[in-house]
């Protein structure tokens, strides 16, 4: 399937920021497609093949209500990145690795601090360089933490609690992580030997591509009440960490795409794209993948916890104070490549559905039982990374997410061009020098990685966030601008 082919099918505007692909568009669609976008973004979205993939996902057995896409939607493997789909296991609903993604539980976490930009500005270059020197980044990089098979098995069973138990974090870190950093039902014995080998020395490493660790400044606060609850104020230094399950998660996805290859024929359904390979949740294949996917998700939470521990150590070194005295506390950690079983209202009744979030973030509203007690009045914190030259956002989940998007919002700016096109655009340029000129210190393993991730390669994150705010699925709380970035 070519990524270059755009979408020429029907799109009906059904709300200020909602566009429908009616299920009448194709005989194989079981539900409508629903894309969150405004008039400006929808034109760019139609130029990509993302809407075609939204229509394809609408053909999945057991899919509920609609095949949904967020404003940062762009072409992906099977599902568009920015895609959301809920399936009902009691109606033959399926689980699809393409609806989770290769980087299982890729996600983000945000730390606040007691430091201000005035405190950090004289040290920002040294701080960024020390973070880059001390935290492993890049393809295939190994870290200081090694977990043999018995330890890695335990880690994948327990999630964040395992590494916190080794002294690499606090109980508070667990409390402020989605699902407390652990999906129940993880089955490490469903993870292949090759995945174990890849995971042995990569927990606590940043990886490559769009993964990063950023030192940021709270640029402005838009919701004073929610910001106060989260402990955010203008001028404060924050740290944003974006990484996932590294080679282990990639291997799990790859392994199970092979297992699922013949499942549609076996279970009697036809798919418009082989990349949508899936199996019923209640099938042997579905249960095998769920056990392995949960194990990889738990690994990813441990990875971000170990990255947090290393970042805290760097701050302590540079500022000659304990990280506790610097106030480097976790605000929240959220996944944006995952499948989870949640209760949602569908057709007027509450049912447990399997929610696929592929490049999309959970955004539970005020009062939801899974939102930490301190955030009950404002809604779950939602962390939206932008490009390294623009900004990131902190949002809060809103009630509209439960009625419109299975408790989900966007996950980032969303690519506006391919990595190949971005590298071509950067020919003869030094992206690090360009960023330095606007006050952002960027460190990476090579110029190619910075070229691929240059700001021009992404949509305007402010624009993307405007859409989800206007749609009432998450509201803007604070804007963060980067001052120091490390990438693979």
Q: Active-site residue 411, yes or no?
A: yes
Of 69, 24, 29, the closest CA to residue 49 belongs to: 69
**Is a pLDDT exceeding 70 seen at residue 193?**
yes
Say if CB 393 and CB 384 are below 8 A apart.
yes
Domains of the chain: 12-487 (3.90.1860.10)
DSSP-assigned states of every residue in 272-307: S-GGG--EETTSHHHHHHHHHHHHHHHHHHHHHHHH
Residue 200 to residue 183: CA distance in whole angstroms: 20
Rounded mean pLDDT of the chain?
95
- 81-87 and 237-243 strand pairing: unpaired
DSSP-assigned states of every residue in 216-279: EEEEEES-HHHHHHHT--TTBEEEEEEE--HHHHHHHHHHHHHHHTTHHHHHT---S-GGG--E
Each residue's pLDDT tens digit, 34-75: 999 999 999 999 999 999 999 999 999 999 999 999 999 999
**Is a pLDDT exceeding 60 seen at residue 5?**
yes
Mean pLDDT along residues 93-97: 98
Reduced to 3 states (helix: H, G, I; strand: E, B; else coil), residue 486 is strand
Say if CB 105 and CB 123 are below 8 A apart.
no
φ, ψ of residue 26 in degrees (nearest 5)? -140, 140
**Is a pLDDT exceeding 80 seen at residue 205?**
yes
CA 481 to chain centroid, in Å, comes to 19
Task: Enter the pTM of the model.
Answer: 0.96
Catalytic position from the list 74, 411, 447, 463: 411
Say if CB 52 and CB 17 are below 8 A apart.
no
Of 52, 103, 408, the closest CA to residue 243 belongs to: 103
- Lowest mean per-residue pLDDT among 257-261, 343-347, 455-459: 455-459
Which one is predicted more confidently, 417 or 324? 324
- 381-384 and 66-74 strand pairing: unpaired
Cα dihedral 265, 270, 274, 277 sign:
negative
CA distances from 231 to 42, 109, 238 (A): 35, 15, 11
**Is a pLDDT exceeding 50 seen at residue 20?**
yes
User: Residue 1 has what pLDDT?
Assistant: 40
**Is a pLDDT exceeding 70 seen at residue 2?**
no
**Is a pLDDT exceeding 90 seen at residue 456?**
no
E strand intervals along 300-411: 330-335, 337-346, 349-358, 361-362, 381-384, 392-397, 408-409
User: Residue 165 has what pLDDT?
Assistant: 98
Residue 198 to residue 294: CA distance in whole angstroms: 17
Token pair of 420 as six digits: 């190949």
Token pair of 282 as six digits: 């209640």
Say if CB 29 and CB 59 are below 8 A apart.
yes
Q: Give the pLDDT band (50/70/90) at residue 4.
A: low
Token pair of 287 as six digits: 């249960």
Each residue's pLDDT tens digit, 99-153: 999 999 999 999 999 999 999 999 999 999 999 999 999 777 788 999 999 999 9
């Amino acid at each position: 399937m070519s990524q270059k082919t755009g979408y020429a099918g029907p799109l009906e505007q059904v709300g200020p920021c909602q566009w429908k692909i009616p299920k009448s568009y194709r005989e194989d669609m079981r539900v409508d497609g629903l894309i969150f976008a405004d008039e400006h973004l929808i034109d760019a979205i139609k130029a990509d093949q993302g809407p075609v993939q939204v229509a394809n996902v609408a053909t999945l057995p057991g899919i509920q209500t609609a095949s949904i896409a967020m404003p940062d939607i762009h072409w992906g493997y099977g599902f568009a990145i920015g895609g959301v789909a809920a399936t009902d296991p009691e109606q033959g609903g399926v689980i699809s690795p393409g609806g989770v993604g290769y980087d299982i539980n890729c996600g983000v976490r945000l730390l606040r601090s007691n430091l201000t930009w005035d405190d950090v500005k004289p040290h920002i270059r040294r701080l960024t360089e020390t973070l880059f020197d001390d935290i492993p980044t890049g393809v295939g990089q190994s870290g200081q933490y090694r977990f043999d098979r018995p330890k890695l098995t335990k880690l994948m069973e327990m999630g964040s609690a395992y590494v916190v138990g080794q002294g690499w974090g606090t109980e508070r870190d667990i409390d402020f992580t989605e699902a407390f950093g652990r999906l129940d039902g993880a089955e490490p014995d469903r993870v292949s030997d090759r995945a174990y080998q890849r995971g042995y020395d990569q927990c606590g490493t940043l990886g490559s591509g769009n993964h990063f660790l950023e030192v940021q400044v709270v640029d402005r606060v838009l919701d004073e009440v929610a910001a106060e609850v989260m402990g955010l104020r203008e001028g404060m230094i924050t740290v944003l960490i974006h990484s996932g399950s590294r080679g282990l998660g990639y291997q799990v996805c790859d392994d199970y795409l092979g297992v699922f290859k013949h499942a549609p024929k076996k279970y009697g359904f036809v798919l418009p794209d082989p990349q949508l390979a899936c199996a019923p949740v209640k099938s042997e294949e579905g249960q095998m993948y769920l056990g392995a996917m949960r194990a990889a998700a738990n690994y990813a939470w441990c990875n971000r916890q170990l990255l947090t521990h290393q970042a805290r150590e760097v701050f302590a070194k540079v500022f000659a104070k304990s990280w506790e005295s610097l106030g480097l506390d976790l605000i929240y950690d959220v996944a944006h490549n995952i499948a989870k079983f949640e209760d949602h209202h569908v057709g007027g009744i509450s049912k447990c559905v399997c929610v696929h979030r592929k490049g999309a973030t959970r955004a539970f509203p005020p009062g939801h039982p899974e939102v930490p007690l301190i955030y009950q009045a404002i809604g779950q914190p939602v962390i939206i990374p932008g490009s390294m030259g623009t900004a990131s956002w902190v949002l809060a989940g809103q009630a509209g997410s439960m009625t419109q998007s299975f408790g989900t919002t966007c996950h980032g700016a969303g690519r506006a061009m391919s990595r190949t096109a971005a590298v071509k655009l950067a020919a003869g340029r030094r992206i690090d020098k360009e960023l330095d000129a606007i006050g952002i210190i960027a460190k990476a393993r090579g110029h190619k990685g910075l070229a691929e991730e240059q700001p021009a390669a992404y949509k305007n994150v402010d624009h993307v966030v405007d859409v989800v705010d206007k749609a009432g699925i998450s509201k803007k709380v604070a804007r963060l601008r980067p001052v120091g970035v490390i990438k693979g």
